[in-house]
Amino acid sequence: MKLTKKLSDLFAKRSARRGWNAFIIFFFALFVLLPTIYVLSYIVTDWGVISTDVLSDTNSVDLSWSEYTEADFLEYEVHKSTVSNFNLTETTLAFEIDNNKTTHTVLMGLSPSTIYYFKIGVNTSSRIIHSNEVNTTGYYETPPPSFEIILYEPIVTKTESLIYHCLWISFEIAAIVTIIDFIAGLPMAWMLVRKEFRGKRFFDTFLDMPLAVPTAALGFSTALFWAVTPGILSPPGSLNLLSSPMLLIIVLHIVFSYPYMVRSLAAILQEIDINYEIAGETCGASRLTAARTITLPLFRAGLVTGIILCFARSLSETGGTMVALATLGSMEKTGPVLIGTWKHVAKYNPNLVPALAFTSIVLILLALVLLVMVKIIVTKVKLPLKKVWPRPEKFLSKGLPPKLGNLFTFIFLLFIVLIPSFFIFSYVATAEPATEIGWGGFWSSLYYSFLVATIITVIDLALGIPMAILIVRGKSKKLGHVLDTLINVPLIVPTAALGFSLGLFWSTQFSFLSSPLLLIIFAHVAFTYPLVVRNVAGALEETDVVYEETARTLGAKPIQVFRKVMLPMIRPSILAGAIMAFTRSLGETGATLAVSPEAITAPVYIVRLIKDHQAYYQAGLACIILIAVSYCAMLLLRYITKKAR
């Protein structure tokens, strides 16, 4: 009681409030914005390295080998030479790997005109073992079984084109996903807002369910449902249809981006007065014509939000994509997957950092440019919505066609979004139980994930709500606008690039802070912070400032106004923001991998189970536990915010 009194007295002072606002902006700038785009400074400081290592005509090679499982393991040695049948010496040693699970690496900066030869050595406490030799000529002969360590066939690619290829795939997929989301999402939003039907509330809840499932679990689940999955027993109901990695990623990304599109379209549709449409209909327009020519043009704001959210989400996604690709057995990579894979390797081979930086920079810049372009295109370009075809539109407005449309929407939701999301239950129920790896790792990763998610939710709320207040209620409108725009940046930047940039920022600028846990917390704050700010700012804009003013004149100090008047009025949005931040953190893979390869959160653990160990049953079970636990956490969060009156 005394403390609250002291606090409210303190905040009654203008200077104290000004200081607090300055702190909020400082926090945002230093902990969110700057680290997010820090990697861009590489363009200035290290362009030379990027241009010689990445942009020149050099190759990179992927090496993978069989794992050494004995207890006397010390380290793997990766050796490179330009002569064949070379001996392992100090001069041929490229780098060492002190983790026996890491049996994959990448080397860069190889001249295409030279033939390189590689060998892996294993250092144990008593001896040195060496593997067979491979080279970059493309010739590979299966080694005789006398080798204890087998080096598999190397994959040689041109570094620059590999990067462009992966980025191109990312953008291509994001664009296709966004378009499909829009086409299928519009009728769904329409149904949710403008139609009354039995079970609408359930429908409404179902729509959000994929959001509660971490994407790593979604990736596994969707792949099991759709894909041809070699090496995994297909559960009953599996379609076994897709073998193309592109198509699989597209269906996967639709699953988790579709709800975002429907939600943003529905939100704006709710705001548009139906009377415009009714007025159009009384003037003789058929229902479709009225909707198309009157409501749709008013839609642009919602369209921008929906497109940006879907696009950014698809562009960012790492964990689910990695899992889906691994389940399919494909070597294809998207931009974020490339960053995640390389970052894992870069721990032992620092030569990869320029390539990583370059990939992140391109990803960030393209994402930002696209954000601006989408905004301009959707708001400025005239949509061809003026022309009217009375007859066909009249025909389409009544009777069977709209019913078919609704049916199609429903089927889309069911088969493309819902069933793939939860198909994993069918798998776990039917697959042969097998526990290849102990559960200890999973429980500790789950604990780690929850620790991070809880901490970042608390930080987001504590510092995000004041930021929202500053944006909406701040004295300076200009500052509000600027902050409002900047807040979106971490939302657009793909999380893998964000994670890499952030890791770089903290480890180079404040290296004393760069423990993996701290780094992951910083990274997760950076991309979840905008979610809380967005939600709360939206609610504050809807709330009339007059309530706060009245409370002030009735004698309430600023803190009392906040606690007694503002907080209760915006509680639902705070809850929504908190749930979003919490679940996003819980499901995030890309940023976690890119920040610190050592930190094992639950989704990262699931990715590893599938990618490195092919422990599918266990991964499935882990997914279900993760889904169940995050669902419980959501309920708990709801309960806590309701109770904290």
Partner 1 sequence: MVNMRLSNITKKYGKIFAADGFNLDVEDGEYVTILGPTGAGKTTILKIIAGLIDQDSGEVYIGERCVDDLPPENREIALLTQGYSLFPHMNVWENTIFAPTVHGWNEKKIEVIGKEMLNMVRLMDRVDAYPRELSGGMKQRNALARALASNAKVLLLDEPLRALDARLRIDLRYELRRLVKDLGITTIHVTHDQEEALTISDKIVVMRKGKVEQVGNPYEIFERPTNIFVAHFVGEANFVEVVITKKSSDKMEMIDRSGRTIISKPQDFDVGKKVIVGIKTEHTAIEKGEKPGTNTFLGKIQRIMFLGKYVSIEVKLEEGKKLHVKIPTSIGTAFKENMLVTVIFAPDRLFIFDYPEKGLEKELEVE
Other CB atoms within a 10 A radius of the CB of residue 462 amount to 12
Instruction: Rank residues 1 and 283 by Cβ distance to partner 1 and give the closer one.
Output: 1
Q: How far is the CB of 560 from partner 1 (least distance, A)?
A: 5
547 near partner 1 (CB under 8 A): yes
Both tokens of 618, joined, read 């266990």
Least Å from the CB of residue 17 to partner 1: 10
Backbone angles phi, psi at 330, to 5 degrees: -100, 150
Nearest to 158 by CA among 112, 107, 105: 112
C-beta of 127 vs 477, nearer to partner 1: 477
Contact at 8 Å (CB) between 39 and 498? no
Cβ closest to partner 1, residue 284 vs residue 555 = 555
Q: By the 8 A CB rule, do 146 and 129 touch?
A: no
The answer to whether 549 contacts partner 1 (rule: CB under 8 A) is yes
According to CB under 8 A, which one of 141, 196, 432, 544 is a site residue for partner 1? 544
With CB under 8 A as the contact rule, the residue among 44, 283, 546, 644 that binds partner 1 is: 546
Task: Identify which of 339, 321, 342 has the alpha carbon closest to the alpha carbon of residue 330.
Answer: 321
Take residue 146 and report the two structure tokens written for it: 């006398």
Closest to partner 1 by CB, 3 or 44: 3
Nearer to partner 1, 446 or 565 (CB): 565
CB 25, min distance to partner 1, A: 22
- Shortest Å, Cβ 18 to partner 1: 13
Which of 12, 414 has the CB closer to partner 1? Answer: 12
In angstroms, give the least distance from the CB of 339 to partner 1. Answer: 46
Using the minimum distance from each CB to partner 1, give the nearer residue, 556 or 629: 556
Give me the least distance between CB of 570 and partner 1, in Å please: 11
Backbone angles phi, psi at 232, to 5 degrees: -125, 135
Q: Which is nearer to partner 1, 5 or 403 (CB)?
A: 5
Contact string 551-590 vs partner 1 (x = CB under 8 A): xxxxxxxx-x---xx--xx---------------------
The set of residues, in sequence order, having a beta carbon less than 8 Å from that of 198 and lying 6+ positions away, is: none
How far is residue 367 from each of residues 503, 601, 613, measured CA to CA in Å?
20, 26, 34
Q: How many residues bind partner 1 (CB under 8 A)?
A: 21
* Residue 539 in contact with partner 1, rule: CB under 8 A: no
- Per-residue interface string for the shown chain with partner 1, residues 221-250, x marking contact by CB under 8 A: ------------------------------
Nearer to partner 1, 17 or 394 (CB): 17
Q: What beta strand segments (E) does 104-263 contain?
A: 104-110, 117-124, 128-130, 134-135, 155-158
- The distance of closest approach from Cβ of residue 481 to partner 1 in the complex, given in angstroms and rounded to an integer, is 17
H or E stretch covering 129: strand 128-130
Closest CA to 454 of 220, 634, 224, 233: 634
Query: Considering beta carbons, is residue 335 or 558 the nearer one to partner 1?
Result: 558
Nearer to partner 1, 300 or 563 (CB): 563
Smallest separation (angstroms) from partner 1 to the CB of 542: 12
Cα angle: 534, vertex 535, 538; to 5 degrees: 80
Min separation Cβ 564 and partner 1, Å = 7
C-alpha 222/C-alpha 209 separation (Å) is: 14
Q: List Cα–Cα distances, 466 to 23, 35, 152, 529, 569, in angstroms.
A: 10, 21, 55, 12, 15
CB nearer to partner 1: give 12 or 183: 12
Contacts (Cβ under 8 Å, ≥6 apart) of 82: 114, 115, 116, 117
**Which of 26, 547 has the CB closer to partner 1?**
547
Q: Which of residues 13-32 bind partner 1 (CB under 8 A)?
A: 14
Among 259-267, 286-294, 546-554, 593-601, the segment contacting partner 1 (CB under 8 A): 546-554
Burial of 433 (C-beta count, 10 Å sphere; 0-12/13-18/19+): exposed
Tell me how crowded residue 35 is: count the other CB atoms within 10 A of its CB.
26
User: What kind and span of H or E run contains 61?
Assistant: strand 59-64
Which of 550, 572, 628, 640 is the binder for partner 1 (CB under 8 A)? 550
Cβ atoms of 131 and 307 within 8 Å: the answer is: no
User: According to CB under 8 A, which one of 7, 9, 12, 640 is a site residue for partner 1?
Assistant: 12
CA angle 315, 531, 605 (to 5 degrees): 60
DSSP character at residue 227: B
Segment interacting with partner 1 (CB under 8 A) among 85-93, 358-366, 527-535, 550-558: 550-558
Cβ at position 626, least distance to partner 1 in Å: 36
Alpha helices in 46-198, H assignment, sequence order = 47-50, 159-194
7 binds partner 1 (CB under 8 A): no
- Binding part of the chain for partner 1, among 40-48, 110-118, 289-297, 549-557 by CB under 8 A, reads 549-557
**Helix residue ranges per DSSP H, 387-476:** 390-397, 400-411, 419-430, 440-473
Which amino acid, residue 265? Answer: L
Place of tokens 């003013």: 549
**With respect to partner 1, which residue has the nearer C-beta, 481 or 564?**
564
One-letter amino acid at 564 equals K
Nearer to partner 1, 14 or 382 (CB): 14
**Residue 613 interacting with partner 1 (CB under 8 A):** no
Q: How far is the CB of 552 from partner 1 (least distance, A)?
A: 4
Dihedral sign for Cα 525, 527, 529, 535, please: negative
Smallest gap from Cβ 475 to partner 1, in A, equals 9
Cβ 474 to partner 1 shortest distance, Å: 15
First-residue to last-residue Cα distance in the chain: 16
**Least distance (Å) between residue 236 CB and partner 1:** 51
State in angstroms the smallest separation of the CB of 573 from partner 1.
Answer: 14
* Positions in the binding site for partner 1 (CB under 8 A): 5, 12, 14, 544, 546-547, 549-558, 560, 564-565, 568-569
